[in-house]
Amino acid sequence: MTFKTGAKAAVVLLVVFSISCGEETPPRDYNRALLEADTLVMEAPGVADESLERIIQAIPSPIEMSALLLSADAEYSETVLNQTSNYDAYTTSHKQALNLGVFGADLGYLNLYKKTGTSLEYLKTIKQLSEDLKVGQFFDFDHLKELSGSEDNVDSLLTISTRNFSQMNRHLREEKRGKISVLIVTGTFIEGLHMACQTVKSKPIDRVKERIGEQQYSVEALLAILKVYEKDARIAELIAAFEGLKESMTEVKIEIIRKEPVMEEIDGILTLVDQDESVVTIPNETLRKIISATEAIRNKIIS
């Protein structure tokens, strides 16, 4: 199965959330990011904490995946979400960080699909987890709750959420708590991939399948930064699970067709826009393996 898509240059926010709702995402500079990540694995954890943002650049925000699902007319499904009732089971900082990422991805999905009533419940759980991790100061929950009460405030809600999570992750790195930041990113990434996988199980949408295949690069980048902390036994277990996901993606073929950029007027400004195209080939059996491996990791995280 082969997919061909156009790719447009864009600046991707290096945070847990992104408010970009474009239908296509650019080929990121994966080679550079992976080279940096491999270097960081050999360096001291303190140095890695200061450099995480450069590696995270190669990992798309799950809100991108939610935006793709929405633009591809994928139906909203409550079954793809983690249940807020699971909060009581998350008693360690490891589980709290992973699931803060998971619930953050779920909140973005809910907001994009304008499920404002349910989003209030998820916002409450995010508040609890962030306070458990001592990063609650980065969220004005009263204001977020007010915005969540109306479908007219979705753009503002996503913008504020983006800023808050960006500040939180920067603080964690400055406080030498980069491990927590990495776990949050891991949770958000796997939840976004899980949403896409569950969508194609019920409705085979070509654009979503293609995007799943593209995550081959993201898994490699995420594995590299997880390996910085591989002496932690719980992270070592995550690494082993992600190695299985990486293995399931080995038969995905991605070819970037380079084309001359063109000048376009965007918001009144002449901008040089890439016209590169990516061709993704993903056999059906490979897709089934990816879905299975993603489900296994996600179940491990939320249980």
pLDDT in tens, 144-170: 665 555 555 555 555 555 566 666 766
- What whole-number distance in Å separates Cα of residue 53 and Cα of residue 72? 30
Total number of domains constituting the chain: 1
Element (H, E) at 279: strand 277-281
Low-confidence ranges of the chain (pLDDT < 50): 2-50
Q: Dihedrals φ, ψ of 27, to 5°?
A: -65, 120
Element (H, E) at 5: strand 2-6
Whole-number pLDDT of residue 40: 45
Whole-number pLDDT of residue 159: 58
Evaluate whether 48 touches 56 at the Cβ level (below 8 Å): no
Whole-number pLDDT of residue 299: 97
Quote the tokens at residue 219.
């898994």
Condensed to tens digits (0 to 9), the pLDDT of residues 67-107 reads 889 889 999 999 999 999 999 999 999 999 999 999 989 98
The residues with which 3 forms a beta bridge, in sequence order, are 280
Range of the domain at 187: 2-302
Place of tokens 């935006």: 67
Whole-number pLDDT of residue 66: 85
Evaluate whether 252 touches 280 at the Cβ level (below 8 Å): yes
Whole-number pLDDT of residue 301: 97
Whole-number pLDDT of residue 303: 93
Whole-number pLDDT of residue 155: 58
Q: What DSSP state is assigned to residue 8? A: -
Whole-number pLDDT of residue 265: 74
Quote the tokens at residue 12.
């991707």
Q: Dihedrals φ, ψ of 269, to 5°?
A: -120, 130
Residue 29 is which amino acid?
D
- What whole-number distance in Å separates Cα of residue 79 and Cα of residue 16? 22
Whole-number pLDDT of residue 170: 67
